Amino acid sequence: MSEEVGEEKPHLLIYKSALDYFSVKPHETLFVGDNWRNDVAGPAESGMKAVPLDGVAYDVIKELPEILRLLEIDH
């Protein structure tokens, strides 16, 4: 949460803190959200895969199984 980190999205420290908390690397992460700047551009700048839930973007999630495709997981 931004109160704990001391910064707000899209500050890179927010995404780094989340990665550290979950002990994952950026390339292992898919960030999904509803705000282009905070939930797509910010995480992508941090090296994460990032997609919006809705709107104009390079990839949009419309159904949950699409997340598996983006993560390149066989289902």
Distances (CA, A) of 48 to 3, 27, 70, 71: 22, 5, 12, 11
pLDDT, tens digit (0-9, with 9 covering 90-100), for 21-53: 999 999 999 898 888 899 999 999 999 998 887
pLDDT, tens digit (0-9, with 9 covering 90-100), for 4-22: 889 999 999 999 999 999 9
Q: Is the pTM of this model over 0.75?
A: no
